[in-house]
Amino acid sequence: MAVRLNEDTEIVKAVREGLKRTGGFCPCRLERSEENRCMCKEFRDQIKDPKFKGFCHCMLYYKD
């Protein structure tokens, strides 16, 4: 399993700025809960699946 940052530096920059504003919570989500703290529970659950390939919700991370 390889999880990496998005290759689009503009997206990475925007999401990281959002994470700073929200105190580490996914800036793409309205609810501020532990499940939405970066790296969010949704993506952690997705990357457990060996067949999953794709981005997290906010597109900061990608799993190969």
Domain of residue 54 covers 3-63
Per-residue HEC secondary structure of 22-56 comes to HCCECCCCCCCCHHHECCCHHHHHHHHCCCCCEEC
Compute the average pLDDT of residues 11-26: 96
Percent of the chain with pLDDT over 70: 98
Percent of the chain with pLDDT over 90: 95
Given a contact cutoff of 8 angstroms between Cβ atoms, the answer to whether 55 and 62 are in contact is yes
User: What is the number of domains present in the chain?
Assistant: 1
40 to each of 7, 9, 12, how far by Cα in Å?
Answer: 19, 20, 16
Confidence category of residue 22, pLDDT binned at 50, 70, 90: very high
DSSP state of 60: S
